[in-house]
Structure 1
Amino acid sequence: ASDCHLGYKEKDPIRGHDSLVTFEEVFEIAKEHEVVDFVLLGGDLFHENKPSRATLHGCIEILRKYCLGDKPCQVEFLSDQSVNFWSSSFPVINYEDPNYNISTPVFTIHGNHDDPSGSKNLSAIDLLSSSGLVNYFGKTSSVDEISISPLLMQKGKSKLAVYGLGSVRDERLHRLFASEKITMLKPKMDTDNWFNIMVVHQNRVKHGEKNYIPEEFLSDFLDLVIWGHEHESLITPEWNPKTNFFVCQPGSTVATSLTEGEAKRKHVAILKVFNKTFKVEEIPLNTVRPFYIDELCLQETGISCDERHEQEIVSYVKKKIESMISKAEAEHSGSTRQPTEPLIRLKVDYSGGYIPFNSLRFGQQFVGRVANPKDIVHFYKKRTRREITEMESIENAELPISILERTVKIENIITELLANDSSYQMKFLSEKAIGDAVRIFVDKEENDIIEEYV
């Protein structure tokens, strides 16, 4: 599984418990299938870098309930634990620690939401690791060069090498791969007899020239890549003929945005490995809040764009919403723990002179029937062919600030300011250092980070 985002919308009276409910279902599935040797998570266990006490408490309760027990773990751990878990004060696999009875071990990397930060470079996952509840791997000690040592395990005749790399800023990781500063260490014994898995948490979809990690960057000796961060569930392994490995994208266990990818059915998978072959059993999650998304073009309704017909448009949109709610009711899983109030999103194209109505006021009539009455309707205009052509023509040009201001990064502003005005030149701190400090202060709410850099 991946991207559990525990604590997402925790203050929402309707959706506040969604992430924890489905997280527990993941472990229920593991327990029901007694053949499961361990749980492997692909990052973003928590939605916030500093999860609340309520979220931490809920997570610990579930881990203690389902991971502790007398059933012995049948997997033999072979690699150097002091290397695999170098960042922990207790560099020992938890099911071999004599102080714990672990029946279902959990292995996890960090994601971009719960990545380590602060003076000691810690995250909430470090807390779980120090308490013996999870095995945290894939943490890096350098931003200039990364060496990845696999977790080596064996059960019977099957040998498993698990490589992990916690989330790194895509631009930086892209640069490291391009400059061959990423090293993946292979087992010294029986090198060709290991089934090699890699767990990553990066952009798989291209968002910019370097704002993603091409699959071709990963080593071709891998057999399977577990790709976290992307929320659409593409659980069926996809073969990449260029790299000769499969990619499995579990997707998230909770919807954190109202997009088409999030509306797809959520899954977990049971991976069965025998020697160099594997099989993936896809299991749909039944406690995920139902989510339905659709589009409506007002020009295709035949209703006039004259403002005197606004009520007719409102009635048409309401009818469409009602049909989506009816569909959600009909397709409910039947689980008593699956919420009955669905997420509904209708994207309305108002091109052609139509005037959007008040979506907040419109949503009030669905309070108690949907989970997101405030943002059921999303109005947008499709770009004309001329606008698309103009955007393509200036894509690689020097854009004015007015276009860039919505995506500009704070560290870039600081770097440009310090570079262009000699009166602001840094005497003791580098531009990059202070830029990173400000970014962490804003994104991770690390109030002491600037003082630490200074």
Structure 2
Amino acid sequence: MENNPSYSQQHHPNSQWSEGDTEIEEKDTFSILVATDNHLGYLEKDPIRGDDSFAAFEEILALAAESEVDMILLGGDLFHENKPSRKTMYITTKLLRKYCLGDKPVSLEFLSDPTDNFPEGIKNVNYMDENLNVAIPVFSIHGNHDDPSGDGNLCALDQLAMTGLVNYFGRSQEIDNVIVKPILLQKGASRLALYGIGNIRDERLHQTFLRRNVKMMRPVEEEDEEPWYNLLVLHQNRVMHGPKSYIPEAFLDDFINLVIWGHEHECLIDPTYNPQQGFHVSQPGSSVATSLSEGESKEKHVAILKICKGRFNIQKIRLQSVRPFIMSDVVLADHDLDPTNQQKVNRFISEKVRELVQKAKEEWTEKNGHVSRKRRMYNEDNSDEEEPAQETVQTQEPEVPKPLIRLRVEYSGGYEIFNPQRFGQEFVDMVANPRDVVHFYRRKTTVNKNTKTKPEMDDVAAPEKLDTMRVENLVQKYLSAQNLSILPEIQLADAVRIYVEKDEKDAVKDFVLTSLDRMQKAIRTKQNIELEEALLKEGKGYTGRNICTRAPKWNS
């Protein structure tokens, strides 16, 4: 859009409004439900937690329908697996049809060119498709779990886009030259420029930013129109995991007004202001816990974002369907326990776990036990053309779900450890994660750099480290000691990562064939050059252009 006259480089105000602001008019206000990292299909075969991701996603869609929002904005990782199962795709399609299709008119005017925003073959935004009755349009970027890969470089969101249930945007055609063109929407006098950056490997995108090869095109500001409100949604590391394995906020353009940051699972949904860049950042977090970490144990929220004439407001809503999750730490040495009395130590840890289970149930009941949420209940047997059933209210007392419990036990001081999985069998009927209720660790001790003794490894923590270790780092560490002349190490590591994480069976094979083909072409080119040089020395009149002197014959 650099050459498009409808784009320019002007600035825009950035401010919030309070709920009681009388200047805000509904006809000029975008109402957007914002969520990220739904991870549909996570642990779908688990008899206890298998439906957690679907329950949370249905609650999100139901909230959107109840609140009568204009659109839903998803910040990546809609699916947990790169190739979702048929069950996951079926339930996702069913829920989107149930809550997002209908006769409610969409009050958003679509102003941009669909070919600039959507995948090939999508001719328009879904609510303007005459073959569909879309009541709530869903806009989504991809994350690192459901990114395009494999034959055709497609992802699950491409399938949903082709069915007309989701508007998939934010895919970059070149990862080393990222050009972001916004979706342009208007409601009344308010105008919204929605930018999307689907997940690109953090190290690669970091380098692309440093080379100034990330360009965000801007719509022209017209004098007689309200200025554009610039909203960016991206799915990258916000927390630094390495020198280049994250995206600093300072990399983002300062004309952006609000950033919706996906990928980080801790819910920090309240907008924080970045005075250096002049924009706000909201991090909604995940809607289902996919790891037993501190960030995941925080309450899960979604937000209803309202934008009106350059001002915005975020109303956060706690998700009630999320399974309760409590983490706690205990240091055995602080409780006057005899290290030689293993039975007493085990009993102490068991009592601590039971206390956490009781605490989780009490907190959940206090927050959800006497709350009934008004939902729009649809008859499952209704066809698409039938009217939804009349709204009802769920007033029954909800059953407390089995909680997720994580007790971290510091056992320095001569204490023995036991098998956490065997210990968890005691709580099979009480918790949702009996196999990993307890995690043992030891206090870190400072190691003298002058000593050559090898530090002792914590065998219990080894599985935890393996969960967070990246495959390509292991491969690169192994290959650093090798001397590969045909297969480049970095690309080989990436191919192995795709094979493991994306379940692409042909990833390594395709990489090897591509590398061999590239090397063969280079060898042939080198041989041709040497042959030309030899002919020039012998005949002094031959060049590469006249080696073949016989002209081809053609039929008249």
Q: Provide the TM-score with structure 2 as the length reference.
A: 0.74
- 1:439 partner SS: helix
Query: Could you tell me which residue of structure 2 aligns to residue 75 of structure 1?
Result: 108
Q: How many Å separate the matches in 2 of 1:272 and 1:338?
A: 34
Give, in angstroms, the shift of residue 431 of structure 1. 4.8
- 2:179 partner SS: strand
Give, in angstroms, the shift of residue 175 of structure 1. 0.4
> Which of 217, 230, 254 is matched with 1:185 structurally?
217
Flag the 1:414–1:228 CA change in 2: closer, same or farther, 3 A.
closer
- What is the 5 A alignment of 1:154-233? 154-190=186-222, 193-233=227-267
Counterpart amino acid of 2:500? V
Query: Could you tell me which residue of structure 2 aligns to residue 291 of structure 1?
Result: 325
- On the 8 A contact 2:471/2:496 being kept in 1, the answer is no
> Which of 485, 495, 499 is matched with 1:425 structurally?
485
Counterpart amino acid of 2:402? E
Larger Rg: 2
Query: Could you tell me which residue of structure 2 aligns to residue 131 of structure 1?
Result: 163
Q: How many Å separate the matches in 2 of 1:45 and 1:289?
A: 19
Unaligned runs of 5+ in 2: 1-34, 373-396, 451-464, 514-556
- 1:82 partner SS: helix
Give, in angstroms, the shift of residue 415 of structure 1. 9.4
Flag the 1:64–1:311 CA change in 2: closer, same or farther, 3 A.
same
Q: How many Å separate the matches in 2 of 1:416 and 1:359?
A: 32
- What is the 5 A alignment of 1:317-396? 317-332=349-364, 333-334=368-369, 340-384=401-445, 386-387=446-447
- On the 8 A contact 1:310/1:357 being kept in 2, the answer is no
* Residues matched between the structures, number: 432
- 2:231 partner SS: strand
- 2:204 partner SS: helix
Q: How many Å separate the matches in 1 of 2:306 and 2:449?
A: 51
Please list the CA deviations of residues 284-342 of structure 1 after superposition, one character each: whole Å capped at 9, or x if unmatched.
00000000100000011111222xx1111111111111111111111222276675100
Give the stretch that moved more between structures: 429-438 or 241-250: 429-438
Flag the 1:229–1:414 CA change in 2: closer, same or farther, 3 A.
closer
- 2:233 partner SS: strand
Whether 2:333 is the aligned partner of 1:272: answer no
Query: Could you tell me which residue of structure 2 aligns to residue 84 of structure 1?
Result: 117
Q: How many Å separate the matches in 1 of 2:140 and 2:495?
A: 27
Query: Could you tell me which residue of structure 2 aligns to residue 55 of structure 1?
Result: 88
Give, in angstroms, the shift of residue 359 of structure 1. 1.9
Whether 2:63 is the aligned partner of 1:29: answer yes
Q: How many Å separate the matches in 1 of 2:480 and 2:416?
A: 45
- On the 8 A contact 1:239/1:245 being kept in 2, the answer is yes
Give, in angstroms, the shift of residue 446 of structure 1. 0.8
- On the 8 A contact 1:220/1:243 being kept in 2, the answer is yes
Flag the 1:359–1:408 CA change in 2: closer, same or farther, 3 A.
closer
> Which of 346, 355, 358 is matched with 1:314 structurally?
346
Counterpart amino acid of 2:100? C
Flag the 1:358–1:282 CA change in 2: closer, same or farther, 3 A.
same
Flag the 1:312–1:419 CA change in 2: closer, same or farther, 3 A.
closer
Q: Provide the TM-score with structure 1 as the length reference.
A: 0.91
Give, in angstroms, the shift of residue 89 of structure 1. 1.2
Q: Give the superposed CA RMSD.
A: 2.2
Whether 2:500 is the aligned partner of 1:442: answer yes
- On the 8 A contact 2:40/2:54 being kept in 1, the answer is yes
Flag the 1:364–1:214 CA change in 2: closer, same or farther, 3 A.
same
Q: How many Å separate the matches in 1 of 2:406 and 2:491?
A: 41
Please list the CA deviations of residues 392-416 of structure 1 after superposition, one character each: whole Å capped at 9, or x if unmatched.
xxxxxxxxxxxxx964644774697
